[in-house]
Each structure stands twice: as structure tokens, then as C-alpha cells.
Amino acid sequence: MARIRAQQGRLIEAQALWGQASRLDPSNTTYRNGLRRISKMQRRPVWLTSLLPLIIGGILVIAIWLVFRGVINNHSVSSGTGTAERPSVQEQPQNLPDQRPVVPKGMGISLDVPGAAVKEEQDLLIVTFNSGLFSKGTRLTPDARAKLTTLGKQLEEYVGQVTVSVVGHTDNNPVPPGSAYRDNLALGYARALAVVEHLVSAAGLPASMFVVSSPGEASSPFPNDTRENRSRNQTVVIKVLTSERIIR
């Protein structure tokens, strides 16, 4: 019984029981050893003996709190999956059209070609030459070469910003027999190509900025009612496009 009381921490009761047993049997070493152990235990600092239960209790409380906190955090994470603030994601730009520089309509581009009229029409600048550019077939006159070179130099600063449509024209006379061209449509197209070749070689413009076409004898810039006007229709009309629209 004395040993049990000592294990329970009830040292005074254990000491009394060991003392009674020792008096009844003074020669019993077990009783004397029990008393010595009780004495050693009683010599521990009083504050340590008093605080030991509190320390153990505090450790238990902290352990329980940590376990409880872990459960709460896990629950918060699992229940807030759909509602927690998500990291900000920058919106991706939608597919946009080509954003290469474009000359604004009616602004930012100026052409001044001697012997030609420049007219603005919506997002186009239309260059119409006052006199014919070709002496025969697709042969450019010296005056035409000078005018086209002047125009090409002015277009240099707009490379990548504009598209240039070259439309070849003819008068209403049919092509003569033995001509290299089947009809006026083919002749007009060849004239447009000849002008592009000159602009590329004389002004260093990229061929990619040009489109060519021809209505042949139709839609001539001047009426085919006189010899002079027919001569004026041996030409091209140049359209400078200041937007993304494709022109013909």
C-alpha cells in the first residue's frame, strides 16, 4: 500500500505507512529503502513539485489546441475552394486585326505630283494624270517617268502604312493585228505592271505594297470622244489606300 501511495504522489501517506511497517519489523530492508526513497523525493524543490502537474497540464492543453487548429484550417481550405480569392489573371487580348500603322482617313498623307490631279475620296487618294503616260503599248514617255519618280519618292515615307492600287487603262480602239496583247484588258494590265516596275526601281518601293488591275477600255478616266482624250486614256490611275480595305 505504501508503494502505491508513493506512485500516486501521496508522499506523506506513503511515509506514514512505511514508518509503521518499519516499526513492526525494524530488520526489513524493504521498509527502510522505501523510507529513504520518500525522503529523497521530499527533498526536491517545493516549487518543482507544485508546478509539475501544471506543466503537464499545460502541455496537454497546447497539444489539444494545435490538433483543433489543424482541423479548423483543413476545414476552411476544403470548404473555401470555390470562394477563396483567386489570384488576379490579366485578361488576354482578343484576336485583333493587323495593327500595323494606318494613315488616318483624310489626314497624315500628302501627295503633290506635277501634271496630275489628286483627289480624296473616302479613305482613298486618287491620282489621275492629265496626259497619257504611254507613247505606244507599255512604253512610258520621259515625262511620265519623271512624274512617276516624283510620286514614288513621296510614297517612300508611307511604306508599310498604305496600299497602292495601280489601274491600267486604254482607249476604246481595239488592239492592232499582230499586237503582243490579245485585247485592251491585257494591254491595260501590262501597263499597270510597267508602272509598278518603274516605281519599284526608281524609288526603291517594295513590290508588296502594290496591287494591279485593269478594266481595259471600260471605265476610262476620260471620255473617248476625241483624239486628245483617247491619248489621255493611255494611262494608269493610282489609288492610295489609307485603310485595310482591298481595292481594285
**Chain segment 194-226, per-residue pLDDT in tens:** 999 999 999 999 999 999 999 999 999 999 999
pLDDT for position 224: 94
- Sheet hosting strand 163-169, strand order edge to edge: 116-121, 124-129, 236-241, 163-169, 210-216
pLDDT for position 218: 93
Q: How many CA atoms lie within 13 A of 28 on its CB side?
A: 12
pLDDT, mean of each 10-residue run, the chain (248 residues): 58 60 72 68 52 62 68 52 44 43 53 92 90 94 96 93 95 92 96 97 94 94 95 96 57
pLDDT for position 247: 45
pLDDT for position 110: 84
Query: Could you tell me if 190 and 138 are in contact, meaning their C-beta atoms sit under 8 angstroms apart?
Result: yes
Distance of CA 216 to CAs 182, 242, 248, Å? 11, 25, 13
pLDDT for position 79: 52
Distance of CA 177 to CAs 67, 181, 189, Å? 105, 9, 18
Three-state SS across the chain? CHHHHHHCCCHHHHHHHHHHHHHHCCCCHHHHHHHHHHHHHHCCCHHHHHHHHHHHHHHHHHHHHHHHHHHHHHHHHHHCCCCCCCCCCCCCCCCCCCCCCCCCCCCCCCCCCCCEEEEEECCEEEEEECCCCEEECCEECHHHHHHHHHHHHHHHHHCCCCEEEEEEECCCCCCCCCCCCCCHHHHHHHHHHHHHHHHHHHHCCCHHHEEEEEEECCCCCCCCCCHHHHHHCCCEEEEEECCCCCCC
The amino acid sitting at 12 is I
Pairwise CA distance, residues 165 & 41, whole Å: 111
**Domains of the chain (ranges plus CATH)?**
2-70 (no CATH), 116-241 (3.30.1330.60)
pLDDT for position 140: 97
pLDDT for position 96: 42
Please give the backbone phi and psi of residue 53, each rounded to the nearest 5 degrees, phi first: -60, -35
